[in-house]
Amino acid sequence: MKRAQAAPALSLAGIDKSFGHVQALSEVSLEVRAHEVVALVGDNAAGKSTLAKIIAGVLQPDAGIIESDGVPVTIANPAAAHALGIASVFQDLALCDNLDVVQNLYLGRELRRGLRLDDEAMEDEARRILRSLTSRIPSVRTPLAGLSAGQRQSVAIARTLLGEPRVVVLDEPTASLSVSQTAEVLMHVERLRELGHAVILISHNMTDVRAVADRIEVLRHGRNNGSFSGADVGYEEIIAAITGASAPPRHDALRDGPRSA
Amino acid sequence: MYPSRVNTDRSTPGSQTSLREANRLRLVDAVKRFGGLTQVELAAATGLSTATVSTIVKELIAAGVVETHTTSRSGRRAQKVTIARRVGLVAGVQVGHRHLQVTLADFSRTVVAEQQMPLPAEHRLDTGLDRVALLIVDLLERVGAQTDELLAVGLALPAPVDSATGMISVRGVLRGWDDTHIGQVLSKRLATPVFVENDANLGALAEHDFGAARGARDSIFVRASYGTGAGLVLGDHLHRGYAGTAGEIGHVQITPDGPICRCGNRGCLETVVGATALLEMLRTSHGPLTLRDVIAQAIEGDPGCRRVVADAGARIGAAVATLATGINPQCVVVGGELAETGEVLVGPLREAVLRHVVPNTLAPLEVVVGELGTRAEVMGAVALALRSTDVASDGSAVQGFAP
């Protein structure tokens, strides 16, 4: 009950963004609550990554309102996003191959005891987080170069959990992974939801999206083109919304109706 | 999971012996968790020194608990430590409504590797079976096994299965999986015999062979999950019925003027206690939830979720009572995801069964929670695959017939 009534952990409304003459986003809205997985799907150049970058504070919107827990905010830079409890994993993962798992997790925010690095505390915390994700990385002291693509994705997701974030944004986490690695990442996404995080999942793979998402938001040519409940929607319906074969049936009124009543 | 070792020479905690024992357990745990690891990885995973790991691994090899395989993954040759396996491997697979579970086990039924994966609602046969096949191959690689070490696969499906053809025998129960020889299709992809069976039947088999119904000649296994079903063991044998639909209590009519069910009949138990019905009841008060949320919140003590699960227990209990009156089992074992709530589900279920069943003073019917939890079905699939494979005295495996 309290979950449903709380303000969205993050809500974006009427977001516009243009690059010169190209209107990348126009009047896009998106909201995600705690304990919810919202999938953002759409064709290439639909504006998914632009929206993710706005949430992460990498890009600034030209217009629109962003609210965090119902309070209007501006996300001026990635540090501001971090301060708001928003953690993002981008497609390139931004991990360092020559550093080990612990060093990657704490890069730029190392724990210190006096002047020295507190290696022990960092290692313990890294183990705890990887375990909470039920991750299959045997050693937290393995250099990243020795890990598989799926394990790297696990490390990148684990890194987002360090600052106890409220919102986790995952950009194409299952692209270029094998089936068992995909299974691992999808289990992580389920786990993040169970831990009470709000998750925004950007993906091309409809099977993966429908497996874990509570809600699926479709973007087309930089506009919202449909919002579906993850449990009920069929594959064809989503594809129709992505290609533009179906008009945007915004479910917001319907979905919020019984809740606000 | 792992047969707990009986500590005969009792040692004081903190002594050298108990420390060594704790380290051994830690190491075995790590091997099981990751399937297969090199000794260097083991040292890092357990926090023990490489020298200690090396000593313990030698001890464990001598005791027959683990074994080493030479692998050349990612170009380097390495000794991989895995749980020791006897003769060969079998795979148990459970395809649920929202999850896929794949388990590799050896001939002593020891689990050597497993992986779960979320599935979309109304998932399809083609992508489903592709994922099963690829996951099995991935797990084999994880434990350093060749594909020809896989001797059989047991597949659990949430629908009645005709065991002779491996086809689903009631249309519409598992949408998109009808009209296909599922066993044959998967068998072609893996070049291994595949035995397909209903999940509740496999749960019944597992609980009878090594779970809560051990020692009972006649038992009923009730599976309360996204759908509801039951498996029957009569005279120590799984009773499938002529076309595999025995025990389908989810499709017993309980409200004659109720909604139409997937199976085509009207007012089935499943239209009242199935996941869709349960979640719909909570939609106005709790907003959109998943079945996993309902179970988690019922365990946490949310009154609404507890009520929904408890009422479902009572409705299922009434249907089980009718079945129990018909066959007079020694015990009823309750499994499936909803049984994770323990007495929240099983209390009202037991009460309803005992209220409606013919009272028997000589041997009163027992209603208990399953011992194997949500692993019952997949372990049943492992047991089915093992039963279907005979082991010759020279250690080589010979394919037999379905049990």
Question: Does A234 touch chain B if contact means CB atoms closer than 8 Å?
Answer: yes
* Percent of chain A at pLDDT exceeding 90: 32
Tell me phi and psi for residue B68, to 5 degrees. -115, 145
> What CA–CA distance (Å, rounded) separates A236 from B6?
56
Provide the edge-to-edge strand list for the sheet that holds B66-71: B36-38, B78-83, B66-71
pLDDT digits (tens, 9 = 90+) for B261-293: 988 899 999 999 999 999 999 999 988 889 999
Which residue is listed with tokens 């979720």? Answer: B305
Q: CB-based contact (8 Å) between B305 and chain A?
A: no
Q: Chain B: give the shortest CA distance to residue A230, in Å.
A: 8
Nearest Cα neighbor of A177 from B138, B34, B142, B121 is B138
Q: Is residue A107 within 8 Å of A99, Cβ to Cβ?
A: yes
* DSSP-based three-state secondary structure for B222: strand
When the pLDDT of each residue in chain B is averaged and rounded to a whole number, the result is: 86
Q: Is A180's CB within 8 Å of B139's CB?
A: yes
Q: Are strands A36-41 and B66-71 parallel, antiparallel or unpaired?
A: unpaired
The pLDDT, as a whole number, for residue B392 is: 46
Q: In chain B, where are the structural domains located?
A: 20-83, 89-201+378-399, 214-371
CATH number 3.40.50.300 is the correct assignment for the domain at B89-201+378-399 = no
- Name the band, by pLDDT with cuts 50, 70 and 90, for residue A259: very low
Query: So what's the pLDDT on residue A136?
Result: 72
**Fold type of domain B20-83:** Arc Repressor Mutant, subunit A (1.10.10)
Q: Tell me: ipTM over 0.90.
A: no
Q: Are the CB atoms for B246 and B226 separated by under 8 Å? A: no
Residue B229 · residue B269 · CB < 8 Å: no
**Are B208 and B232 a contacting pair, CB within 8 Å?**
no
Query: Could you tell me the pTM of the whole model?
Result: 0.80
Cβ neighbours of A207 in B, within 8 Å? 120, 123, 127
Q: How far is A23 from chain B (nearest CA, A)?
A: 34
φ and ψ at B272, to 5 degrees? -105, -35
Identify residue B368 by its one-letter amino acid code. V
Match 């060749």 to its residue by tokens.
Answer: B146
Rg (CA), chain B: 23
Q: List, for residues B83-138, the tens digit of each pLDDT value.
A: 777 668 999 999 998 899 999 998 778 888 889 999 988 888 888 898 999 999 98
**C-alpha to C-alpha distance for A196 and B374, rounded to whole angstroms:** 23
Q: Which of A136, A179, A258 sits opposite B131 (nearest CB)?
A: A179
Where do the domains of chain A lie, and which CATH numbers do they carry? Answer: 2-260 (3.40.50.300)
CA distance B251 to B76: 55
Give the residue among B376, B398, B399 at the shortest CA–CA distance from B197.
B376
How sure is the predictor about B317, in pLDDT bands with cuts at 50, 70 and 90?
A: very high
Architecture of domain B214-371: 2-Layer Sandwich (3.30)
If pLDDT is split at 50, 70 and 90, which confidence band does B43 have?
confident
- Is the Cβ of B118 closer than 8 Å to some Cβ of chain A? yes
SS percent in chain A: helix, strand, coil, step 5: 35, 25, 40
Equal CATH topology for B89-201+378-399 and B214-371: yes
Q: Which of residues 45-104 of A touch B (CB under 8 A)?
A: none
Pairwise CA distance, residues B234 & A56, whole Å: 61
List the single residue in A4, A146, A189 with the smallest CB-CB distance to B287.
Answer: A4
HEC profile of B251-286: HCECCCCCCECCCCCECECHHHHCHHHHHHHHHHHH
3-state secondary structure of B324: helix
The conformational region for residue B298 under phi > 0 = left, psi -120 to 50 = alpha, else beta, is: alpha
- pLDDT for B300 equals 94
Q: Which tokens is A203 given? A: 């993906």
Kindly give the interhelix angle for B39-46 and B50-62, rounded to the nearest 10 degrees: 110
Q: Which of A142, A179, A210 sits opposite B134 (nearest CB)?
A: A179
Length of chain A in terms of residues written: 261
Asked if the Cβ–Cβ distance from A231 to B304 is below 8 Å, we say no
Of B134, B139, B286, the CB nearest to A1: B286
The per-residue pLDDT of chain A, averaged, comes to 84
Pick from B233, B202, B239: which is nearest to B218 by CA?
Answer: B233
- Nearest partner of B138 among A179, A150, A148, judged by Cα: A179
Q: Do A231 and B42 make contact, defined as CB atoms within 8 angstroms?
A: no
Residue type, B207: E
Among A180, A190, A214, the residue with its CB nearest the CB of B288 is: A214
Q: Is the pLDDT of residue A251 over 80?
A: no
Asked if A214 and A40 count as a contact pair (C-beta separation under 8 A), the reply is no
Which of B34, B117, B142, B226 should we substitute to test contact with A (largest number of A Cβ atoms within 10 Å)? B117
B34–A186 C-beta distance less than 8 A: no
Rounded Cα gap, residues B381 and B183, in angstroms = 13
Q: Is B261 exposed, middle or buried (0-12, 13-18, 19+ CB in 10 A)?
A: buried
Structure tokens at B291: 């079945």
Which of A68, A39, A41, A16 is closest to A215 using CA atoms? A39
d(CA B229, CA B247): 6
